[in-house]
Structure 1
Amino acid sequence: MQSLLNPSLAEARQDVGTRPMQGRKIVDWLINETRGERFVDNIFVEMCERLAAAGVPVARATLHFRIHHPQWIGARILWRKGLSEAELQTYEYGIEDTEQYLNSPLHEFNNGAAEVRRHLDDPAADGPQYPLYDELRAGGLTDYFIWPLEHTLGKRHAVTFASDRPGGFSDEDMAVFADLLPALALVSEIRLKNRFARTLLETYVGPHASEQILAGATTRGSGVTVGAAILICDLRDFTKLSDLWPRDDVIELLNGYFDAMCEPIERHGGEILKFMGDGLLAIFPLSDPMACNNLLSAISEAQAALARLNEENVKKGHEPLGYGIGVHVGDVMYGNIGSSKRLDFTVIGPAVNIASRLENLTKVIKRPILLSRAFVEMARCQGELENLGSHPVRGLDEPIDVFAFSSNSASADSAAGA
């Protein structure tokens, strides 16, 4: 259903003669003076303040974007008169099925309406009576409308404006908005795509690597040598589980396992560089003096989260998940490796190989977490660990001293499934 907009967007755009000079100045500002501002919410706030200063009675405004994010389907930027900052709210997938969204003017707009307008000071006016209208009316607002914000390739977002002036927006006000929208669409699309690129990189390579890539580290072989505490984790018997369980159950299991492992790692300053099937590689850069201790804290919290996950799996009739973790410390080459057209931003070096060998050794020693002497000495935690002696590892001429948590009793190791 489409509400009538008077004047319509097209009519407003034709009404060039009545547009005040201040409106054109705001358009010029949007196009020529916002290049140095990265964030669209800051631009939106200043635009609304400039509109109000020019005599356009804007008291509330929102931008609604559909975004590409693993957690959120969309975001809203909300500005209110008198506030120097916008409020940012994100919406999770599934919001489109809720009563709140289905009974809203935004749903009407997204369902095909070219534009939606409501004179709030006329509660008897024809059209849907959405709860949002009552909320806006109670806040002293008199007029509200939604217009499309058209981006390239048919991408359609929404912008709303509301007035608190008796009678609402005039035809001249609507002409100012119509003049403004193409510039706002251009400015917002650039910022949204910049944010989209950053989000994609953060999602697939992590926040620190994404910063370096965006800063220009895209040449094959480019990289730096950094000191890092290295953690490699692997799920036990995953091949068997994936053969026996339904596909959706396997995906749910993996997601739960990675949540249990990854959230503590990221919370304590670690960077997850790679998911390798049912395993992961993470580093804690030694530029942070607490890196080794942070890694140990992350492991402790991950163990607790995995124990809770196993309790749920057992309740569902599944076997508890086993895992192996190898930890080492040393210099790694951190940068771009791959073919001429397909690169991977990762870490390589002997220190990574040793962490990997320790993870494999957990299967032999039957302890879920093994740490190298080099790491233990740097973390200064020998008293809290059990020395398991020297063990040969593939690729090294000399055996390596291996430690495990002394709290890992035989029963704990069995529950971990190492």
Structure 2
Amino acid sequence: MELTTRMDLTNWLTSQGLTGLSENDLVRGFCERCRAAGLDLSRSLIFIDTLHPIFEGRGFRWNDSETNEADSFEYGPTDQGDAAQNWRRSVFFHMLEHGHDEMLIDLADHPKLGFTMLPELAEKGHRHMVGFVHRFGEAGALGQMDCFYSYWLTRRVEGFNDRELAALRDLVPVLGLVIKSAQQVDIVRTLGRVYLGRDASERVLHGKISRGVTEQINAVLWFSDLRGSTSITESISPDEIIPFLNDYAQAAIDAIHDSGGDVLKLIGDGVLAMFTGENLSHAKRAALRAEHRFRLNMIALNASRGAEGRAVTSAYVGLHVGEVFYGNIGHDDRLDFTVVGPTVNEVSRIASMCRSVDRELLVSAAFRDGLDAAGQHYLVSTGRFALRGIGRAQDLYTLEPAIARDQALAERYERYLKN
């Protein structure tokens, strides 16, 4: 490959990386341009570790012919089970263990090498491989993201020639830098969603990060906490406390997200969330739908935990509606993107009142009044109550108890929630 062609490929990678081209398109475009320039590639695979609560990293594939393989994939931890064994038998683990940055392999030698993947690659007609490990260094690492791994294959019997290897040595680090940059954007978005919430994360990433910059909005607020969590955590073993909290937090968060809400904050065993939209009546129905799904999630969760002899519980949910300030609160060095205002205080007090009236769901009069007639029909009064720290008493409502006993009524309520 001529020097001018390498420069053209470098410029293409740089420009497309700056525009935000996806990793799949970057890898495909790079490989196709290499082949057009005379570099006899038949397959490539690259992967890079990342920061994600579930996945350890992501990989991307390219082949010179159609396959059933996905162009991209995500992989879990490689330090346990079969994944750990496969990793320890891989070319890349061998390279790391022996300090190699590059390794040339004739696939005809695969029986004596014993690496995973090589027999399958040889069977598909690939003849030679070159593998690279490009290390980032301490300053360039981010969590476990400290290496860019890649291998490149050819079907040519004699393998890559010296000029092709030189081209790959020049170009693959540039591709690695562009892929790393794209992955760091993905990491920022993932961490934002995980730690701030989906809507708050998007607002922060779009530049709303100045202290005191808030927006006054009308929102439906959700506050939930677990029944008897203090006594439960005191009675179970310490190593069971976090799994207990995680299981029930997931039940709530899945229900809220599935219904279109945004989780704003986890406070011990409590969850603060909001539902918004141009039509608050729709947002209220979404909140009721989330509460219903939360109950179903907990039924399934309690069945599985109970079968294992582990602690089970239920939860209280309070729903309210009103104006809140939504934005950056705190100090320049430590901001929280959340909601504040009297409505937030009130919804937490409403949830707390569930214990006193022995109801798992309480909603405010403001929440009920904004529902359509069909929705109001499913809510009944529990009385008027003074809420701790709130200056005025409030009428509170709960689900019609007959819903739990009357199958036909329960089915009508579920149809209402789906509309």
Query: Which category describes the TM-score, using the shorter chain as reference length?
Result: 0.7 to 0.9
Structure 1 SS opposite 2:13: helix
Q: Which residue of 2 aligns with 1:232?
A: 223
Q: Which amino acid aligns with 2:103?
A: V
Q: Matched residues in 2 for 1:81 and 1:128: separation?
A: 25
1:198 maps to which residue?
189
Which consecutive residues of structure 2, in runs of 5 or more, have no partner in the other structure? 406-419
Of stretches 381-390 and 343-352 in structure 1, the one that deviates more from structure 2 is 381-390
Give 2:106's aligned residue.
119
Work out which of the residue numbers 175, 184, 188 in structure 1 matches 2:175. Answer: 184
- How far is 1:110 from its partner? 4.3
Query: In 2, Cα distance between the equivalents of 1:288 and 1:183?
Result: 49
1:63 and 2:20 matched: no
**Quick one: distance in 2 between partners of 1:400 and 1:116?**
73
Preserved contact between residue 65 and residue 158 of structure 1 (Cα < 8 Å): yes
Deviations 1:272-303 (A, max 9, x none): 11000111101111236632222222211111
Contact kept in structure 2, 1:48 and 1:58, CA below 8 Å? yes
The answer on 1:222 being equivalent to 2:213 is yes
1:49 aligns with 2:32: yes
Shift of 1:152: 4.1
Task: Report the counterpart of residue 399 of structure 2 in structure 1.
Answer: 405
1-side partners of 2:45 and 2:209: how far apart? 37
Equivalence for 1:315: 307
Matched, 1:350 2:335: no
Alpha-carbon distance in structure 2 between the residues aligned to 1:342 and 1:65:
30
- Find the aligned partners of 2:92 and 2:302 in 1 and give their Cα distance: 42
Amino acid of the structure 1 residue aligned with 2:384: S
Distance 1:56 1:408 in 2: 73
Instruction: Work out the CA distance in 1 between the residues paired with 2:402 and 2:272.
Output: 23
Alpha-carbon deviation of 1:137?
2.2
**CA deviation vs aligned residue, 1:45-87 (integer Å, no higher than 9, x gap):** 2111111111112222122111111111111111223579972
| Alignment root-mean-square deviation, CA | 2.6
Bigger mean CA deviation after superposition, 84-93 or 208-217: 84-93
How far apart in 2 are the matches of 1:182 and 1:22? 16
* Deviation of the 1:170 alpha carbon: 1.8
- The alpha-carbon distance between structure 1 residues 407 and 160, as it changes in their structure 2 partners (threshold 3 A), is farther
Q: CA deviation at 1:345?
A: 0.7
Distance in 2 (alpha carbons) for counterparts of 1:138 and 1:192: 32
Cα distance in 2 between the residues matched to 1:86 and 1:26: 25
- 1:229–1:286 CA contact under 8 A, matched in 2: no
Question: Aligned match of 1:258 in 232, 249, 256?
Answer: 249
> 3-state DSSP class of the match of 2:370?
helix
Q: SS in structure 1 opposite 2:114?
A: coil
**What is the distance in 2 between the residues matched to 1:146 and 1:407?**
66
CA gap of 1:262–1:280, structure 2 versus 1, over 3 A, is: same
Cα 1:66/1:277, change in 2 over 3 Å: same
The equivalent of 1:391 in structure 2 is 385
Deviation at 1:318, TM superposition (A): 4.6
Q: Which SS does the other structure have where 2:312 is aligned?
A: coil
User: Once the two structures are superposed, what CA deviation does each residue of 1:65-123 show, in whole Å capped at 9, x if it has no partner?
Assistant: 11111111111111223579972211122565414433332333344451333222x2x
SS in 2 for 1:325: strand
Q: For 1:349 and 1:282, locate their aligned partners in 2 and report how far apart those are by CA, in whole Å.
A: 14
Aligned-residue offset at 1:389: 2.8
CA distance in 2, matches of 1:379, 1:201: 33
Q: Match of 2:9? A: 26
Amino acid at match of 2:90: S
Q: 1:326 aligns with which of 285, 302, 318?
A: 318
Q: Which among 234, 254, 266 is matched to residue 243 of structure 1?
A: 234
Question: Using the alignment, how far apart are the partners of 1:83 and 1:217 within structure 2?
Answer: 45
Q: Contact 1:146/1:159 (CA < 8 Å) preserved in 2?
A: yes
Q: Does structure 2 conserve the Cα–Cα contact (< 8 Å) formed by 1:391 and 1:400?
A: yes
Is 1:365 matched with 2:378?
no
SS at structure 2 position matched to 1:240: helix
Query: Offset at 1:125?
Result: 5.8
Deviation at 1:336, TM superposition (A): 0.6
Query: Taking structure 1 as reference, are residues 94 and 223 closer, same or farther at Cα in structure 2, changes over 3 Å only?
Result: same
Tell me the equivalent position of 2:122: 137
User: Aligned partners of 1:83 and 1:342: how far apart in 2?
Assistant: 50
Distance across 1 between alignment mates of 2:402 and 2:253 = 21
Match of 2:415?
none
Q: Which residues of structure 1 form unaligned runs of 5+?
A: 1-17, 412-418
Shift of 1:19: 4.8
> In 2, distance between residues paired with 1:179 and 1:71?
34
Cα displacement string for residues 179-229 of structure 1 (whole angstroms, at most 9, x for unaligned residues): 113322322232222222222211100121111111111111112122221
Q: Provide TM-score, normalisation by structure 2.
A: 0.85
1:102 aligns with 2:88: yes
Counterpart CA distance in 2 for 1:214 and 1:204 is: 13
